Amino acid sequence: MKRAPLMVVAAGAMALVLSLLVLPARAVERVRVVVSERGFDPPVVEVTEGELVEITFVYGDSHLPQDNPHVIFIEGLGLESPQISRARPEVAVRVTAEHSGRLLFKCTAYCTGHDRLQAGYLRVRPAAATGAVPAATTRLQLLAAPPDVPGAKAALRAQLSSDDGQPVEGVLVRFEQQATLVKTGWAPIGGARTDGRGVALMEYAPFGDAERVPVRALFEGTVRYQAAQAEVVLELPALVSWWAPPEEVRVPIVGTWLLWAIVAAVWLTFAYALYQVFTLPEPQSAVPGSLHRRRV
Amino acid sequence: MSEPHRLEAQLLGVMARPPRWYLFVVILLAGTVAWGFYAWTVQYRIGLGVTGLHNRVPWGLYIVNFVFLIGISHAGTLISAILRITGAEWRRPITRMAEVITVVALMTGALMIIVDMGRPDRVLYLVRYGFGYLSSPIMWDVLSVSTYLIGSLIYLYIPLIPDLAVLRDRLDPSAPGWQRWLYRTLAMGWQGTLRQRRRLERALTVMALVIIPIAVSVHTVVSFVFSMTLRVGWHSSIFGPYFVVGAIFSGIAGIIAAMAVFRRIYRLEAWITEEHFRKLGWLLLALNLIYLYFTFSEYLTMGYQPDDAEAALLRLLFTGPYGKLFWPMVVGGLVAPALLAVIPSVPALRSLSTVPFLRPAPVALTAAGLLGSVLIVRTQPQAATLLSWLATWETLRWPLLGLGVLLALSLVPILQARRVASLVIASVLVNVGMWLKRYLVVVPSLAVAQTPIEAIAYRPTWVEYSITAGTFAGFALLYLVFSRLFPIISLWEVREAEDSAIREPADVGTRPYVTPAGGRA
Amino acid sequence: MTKDGHQATSAERARPSPSAISRRTFVKALIGTGAATAFPAVGKLAESWAAVGERGSGQGRVSRQWSMVIDLRKCEGCTTINKPPQCIEACKKVHYLPQGQQWIRVVTERDERGTFFRPIPCMQCENAPCVQVCPVGATYHDASGVVLVDHNRCIGCRLCMAACPYDARVFNWVQPPTPPEAALVTYSPQFPVPHRKGTVSKCMLCAHRTANGELPACAAGCPMKAIYLGDLTTDVATNGDEVVKLSTFLSENHAYRYRGELRTRPRVYYIPGHGEAFGRRLGT
Length of chain C: 284
Q: How buried is B382 (Cβ within 10 angstroms: 0-12 exposed, 13-18 middle, 19+ buried)?
A: exposed
Contact B136, C135 (CB under 8 A): yes
CB contact set of B176 (below 8 Å; sequence gap of 6+): none
pLDDT at A296: 40
- Mean of the pLDDT values across residues A121-136? 77
3-state percent helix, strand, coil for chain B, nearest multiple of 5: 80, 0, 20
Q: Smallest Cα–Cα separation from C191: which of C204, C178, C172?
A: C204
What is the nearest CA distance from B95 to chain A, expressed in angstroms?
18
Task: Note whether B136 contacts C167, CB cutoff 8 Å.
Answer: no
Cα–Cα distance for residue pair A142/B114, rounded to 1 Å: 70
Nearest to A186 among C23, C52, C243 (CB): C243
| Ranges of H-type helices in chain C | 22-31, 38-49, 86-95, 129-133, 159-163, 180-183, 207-210, 217-221, 246-252
How many Cα neighbours within 13 Å face the side chain of A125?
13
pLDDT at C266: 96
Residue C23 has pLDDT above 90, yes or no: no
Q: In what order do the strands lie in the sheet with A172-181?
A: A183-193, A172-181, A212-219, A228-235
How much is the ipTM here?
Answer: 0.86
Task: Note whether A255 contacts C214, CB cutoff 8 Å.
Answer: no
Which residues in chain A touch residue C52, judged by CB atoms under 8 angstroms apart?
239
What is the nearest CA distance from A241 to chain B, expressed in angstroms?
30
Task: Note whether A266 contacts B151, CB cutoff 8 Å.
Answer: yes
Cα–Cα distance for residue pair B329/B435, rounded to 1 Å: 9
Contact C238, C244 (CB under 8 A): yes
pLDDT at B179: 87
Cα–Cα distance for residue pair B74/B356, rounded to 1 Å: 44
pLDDT at A41: 87
DSSP-derived secondary structure for B246-299: HHHHHHHHHHHHHHHHHHHHTT-TTTS-HHHHHHHHHHHHHHHHHHHHHHHHHH
Task: Note whether A289 contacts B196, CB cutoff 8 Å.
Answer: yes
Q: Could you tell me which residues are beta bridge partners of residue A157?
A: A143, A201
* B455–chain C Cβ distance below 8 A for any pair: no
The 10s digit of each residue's pLDDT in C192-212 is 999 999 999 999 999 999 999
pLDDT at B295: 96
The 10s digit of each residue's pLDDT in A47-86 is 888 888 899 999 988 888 999 899 999 888 888 888 998 9
Contact C153, C136 (CB under 8 A): yes
What single-letter amino acid sits at B292?
L
Which residues in chain A touch residue C236, judged by CB atoms under 8 angstroms apart?
179-181, 187, 207-209
What is the nearest CA distance from B319 to chain C, expressed in angstroms?
24
Burial call A106-144: b when 16+ CB within 10 Å, e when fewer: bbbeebebeeebeebbbebeebeeeeeeebeebebebeb
C72: DSSP letter? T
Contact B291, B219 (CB under 8 A): no
Nearest to B125 among C136, C163, C198 (CB): C136
Q: How many CB atoms lie within 10 A of CB C35?
A: 9
* Cis amide prior to A42 (ω within 30 degrees): yes
Q: Smallest Cα–Cα separation from B8: which of B505, B491, B519?
A: B491
What single-letter amino acid sits at C166?
Y
pLDDT at B497: 83
pLDDT at B386: 57
* C175–chain B Cβ distance below 8 A for any pair: yes
Task: Note whether B136 contacts C132, CB cutoff 8 Å.
Answer: yes
Cα–Cα distance for residue pair A20/A23, rounded to 1 Å: 6
Task: Note whether B143 contacts A263, CB cutoff 8 Å.
Answer: yes
Task: Note whether C162 contacts B116, CB cutoff 8 Å.
Answer: no
Task: Note whether C167 contacts B225, CB cutoff 8 Å.
Answer: no
| Ranges of H-type helices in C121-222 | 129-133, 159-163, 180-183, 207-210, 217-221
Nearest to C232 among A210, A241, A248 (CB): A241
What single-letter amino acid sits at C189?
P
Q: How many helices (H) and strands (E) does chain A have?
A: 3, 16
Q: Could you tell me which residues are beta bridge partners of residue B131?
A: none
Contact C186, C1 (CB under 8 A): no
pLDDT at B412: 75
User: Considering chain A, what percentage of its residues have pLDDT values greater than 70?
Assistant: 84
Q: Smallest Cα–Cα separation from C276: which of C73, C69, C71?
A: C73
| φ/ψ of residue C282, rounded to 5 | -65, 145
Which residues in chain A touch residue C238, judged by CB atoms under 8 angstroms apart?
181-183, 185
Which residues in chain A touch residue B193, judged by CB atoms under 8 angstroms apart?
281, 283-284, 287-289
CB contact set of B423 (below 8 Å; sequence gap of 6+): B256, B277, B278, B280, B281, B284, B340, B341, B344
Q: Is beta strand A138-145 parallel, antiparallel or unpaired with respect to C66-71?
A: unpaired
pLDDT at B439: 97
Cα–Cα distance for residue pair A292/B263, rounded to 1 Å: 28
Chains that touch B (3 or more CB pairs under 8 A): A, C
Q: Smallest Cα–Cα separation from A29: which of A90, A92, A78, A88?
A: A92
Nearest CA in chain B to C26: B135
* C84–chain B Cβ distance below 8 A for any pair: no
Q: Is beta strand C66-71 parallel, antiparallel or unpaired with respect to C227-231?
A: antiparallel
Task: Note whether C229 contacts A181, CB cutoff 8 Å.
Answer: yes
Residues of B with CB under 8 A from a CB of A: 2, 4-5, 134, 143, 147, 150-151, 154, 157-158, 161-162, 188-197, 199-200, 202-204, 206-207, 210, 214, 492, 495, 499
| φ/ψ of residue A42, rounded to 5 | -80, 155
Q: pLDDT class for C58, splitting at 50, 70, 90?
A: very low
CB contact set of B306 (below 8 Å; sequence gap of 6+): B314
Q: Could you tell me which residues are beta bridge partners of residue A231?
A: A216
Helix B419-447 × helix B61-72 angle, to 10°: 140
Q: How buried is C12 (Cβ within 10 angstroms: 0-12 exposed, 13-18 middle, 19+ buried)?
A: exposed
| Each residue's pLDDT expressed in tens, for chain B with a length of 521 residues | 455 578 888 888 888 888 888 999 999 999 999 999 999 999 999 999 999 999 999 999 999 999 999 999 998 887 789 988 898 888 889 999 999 999 999 999 999 999 999 999 999 999 999 988 888 999 999 999 999 999 999 999 999 999 999 888 887 777 788 888 889 889 888 888 888 999 999 999 999 999 999 999 999 999 999 999 999 999 999 999 999 999 999 999 999 999 999 999 888 888 899 889 999 999 999 999 999 999 999 999 999 988 888 999 998 898 888 988 998 899 889 998 998 888 877 777 766 666 666 667 777 777 787 777 777 766 666 555 655 655 555 666 666 777 777 777 777 777 777 888 889 999 999 999 999 999 999 999 999 989 998 888 999 999 999 999 999 999 999 999 999 999 999 998 888 888 777 665 554 444 444 444 444 43
Burial call C129-145: b when 16+ CB within 10 Å, e when fewer: bbbbbbbbbbbbbbebb
**Average pLDDT score over chain C:** 82
Helix (H/G/I), strand (E/B), else coil: C71: strand
The 10s digit of each residue's pLDDT in A145-182 is 998 888 889 999 999 998 888 898 889 999 999 999 99
What is the nearest CA distance from B120 to chain C, expressed in angstroms?
7
Task: Note whether B207 contacts A267, CB cutoff 8 Å.
Answer: no
Length of chain A: 296
Residue C80 has pLDDT above 80, yes or no: yes
Nearest to B193 among A266, A277, A283 (CB): A283
User: What angle (nearest 5°) sits at the alpha carbon of residue B23, between those of residues B18 and B24?
Assistant: 130
The 10s digit of each residue's pLDDT in A229-260 is 999 999 888 777 778 877 766 555 567 678 88
Cα–Cα distance for residue pair A89/B521, rounded to 1 Å: 103
Cα–Cα distance for residue pair B338/B197, rounded to 1 Å: 41
Q: Is beta strand A199-204 parallel, antiparallel or unpaired with respect to A183-193?
A: unpaired
Chain B interface mutation, best of A263, A278, A280, highest count of B Cβ atoms under 10 Å? A280
Cα–Cα distance for residue pair A192/B210, rounded to 1 Å: 74
Nearest to B203 among A259, A276, A287 (CB): A276
Task: Note whether A177 contacts C62, CB cutoff 8 Å.
Answer: no
Q: pLDDT class for C12, splitting at 50, 70, 90?
A: very low
* Cis amide prior to C194 (ω within 30 degrees): yes
Residue A262 has pLDDT above 60, yes or no: yes
